[in-house]
Structure 1
Amino acid sequence: MTRKYFVVDHNPLWMEQFQTEKTLLKEIFGRSAVNIHHIGSTAIPSIKAKPIIDILIEVTSLSEVDMLNPELGKLGYEAKGENGIAERRYFQKGGIKRSHHLHCFLSDHPEVKRHLNFRDYLIANPEKAMEYSGLKHRLSVENDGDREAYLKGKEPLIKQFDKEAEIWFRKQN
């Protein structure tokens, strides 16, 4: 069965769900976890999102993450390897009714900065967040939840906001 991508209104419980999962993950990762971040649309107040909590863990070693696969499996996470992004370890929880995505990167990996900049930029710029939310909603409805069309449709705006977020971040620091 193919999963469909539909977005829903923001749920304030998403932050609590992240915090609960963060506690469980801290126990498993221990000192291997440098930081654990809530990323993706569920981390941005007021915008529509797929009801899947995206978590980014900055780690000290990907080989240590690989050794945690059995423990993460007990928590319901399925290891997917790099899954299209070099030097990442990716996990999904919830099977076809996915509830969590877990992305593990070394702290200096460029994807860490990109994800955090994107999230923080949209939080700091609610009008941009609403533009993104509207696009996601429109794409999920127009494409009847088709994953590929949804992802392809978001790509130009994400690239634009990534560039804007990088400039915004530099101005903040």
Structure 2
Amino acid sequence: MLLVPSDPSWPLRFEEFATRIRAAGEDGWIIEHIGSTAIPGMSAKPIIDLAVRVETRERLDARLPELEAAGGASDMSRSSTTLRGRQRTGCPPATRERPPSSRRS
């Protein structure tokens, strides 16, 4: 597993990815930066992980083509009403982590 020093651009990269998801999604969806890159100052795998909480699975399924077009489609997985995705920062993928208690929307 490749860990790199904290990168101050990670929050911005999350925001860029989240903006694309918001444009493809619906009002009320909660987009969270999760995983080690969400923790300032911590070494991490250079992959931006995010979770999207939606109202119903059906609404998520209805927006899936737009979400796929927004990027990261091959790295999105559905679990109940949460969509998890990742945005690579130029390095190979690693295992997903559980979300920390602090959230960002």
Q: Same fold (TM over 0.5)?
A: yes
Decide which structure has the larger Cα Rg and report it.
1
Report the aligned-residue RMSD.
2.7
CA contact (8 A) 1:32 1:64 kept: no
From 24, 36, 39, the counterpart of 2:34: 39
Report the CA distance shift for 1:20/1:91 in structure 2 as closer, same or farther (over 3 A): closer
Amino acid at match of 1:71: E
* Matched positions, count: 96
Q: Identity across aligned pairs (percent)?
A: 28
Report the CA distance shift for 1:80/1:39 in structure 2 as closer, same or farther (over 3 A): closer
TM-score, structure 2 normalization = 0.72
CA distance, structure 2, for counterparts of residue 45 and residue 80 of structure 1: 24
Kindly indicate whether residue 10 of structure 2 is the aligned counterpart of residue 29 of structure 1. Answer: no
TM-score, structure 1 normalization = 0.47
- Name the residue aligned to 1:58: 53
Structure whose residues are more often helix by fraction: 1
CA contact (8 A) 2:48 2:87 kept: no
Report the CA distance shift for 1:56/1:81 in structure 2 as closer, same or farther (over 3 A): closer
CA distance, structure 2, for counterparts of residue 44 and residue 79 of structure 1: 21
What do the CA deviations read for 1:107-126 (whole angstroms, capped 9, x no partner)?
Answer: xxxxxxx7241x47xxxxxx
Gaps of 5+ in 2: none
Shift of 1:9: 0.6
CA distance, structure 1, for counterparts of residue 51 and residue 24 of structure 2: 14
Report the CA distance shift for 1:54/1:78 in structure 2 as closer, same or farther (over 3 A): same
Structure with more contact order per residue of length (Cα contacts < 8 Å, sep ≥ 6)? 2
Q: Which runs of 4+ in 1 moved over 3 A?
A: 79-82, 88-94
Gaps of 5+ in 1: 102-113, 121-173
CA contact (8 A) 1:32 1:59 kept: yes
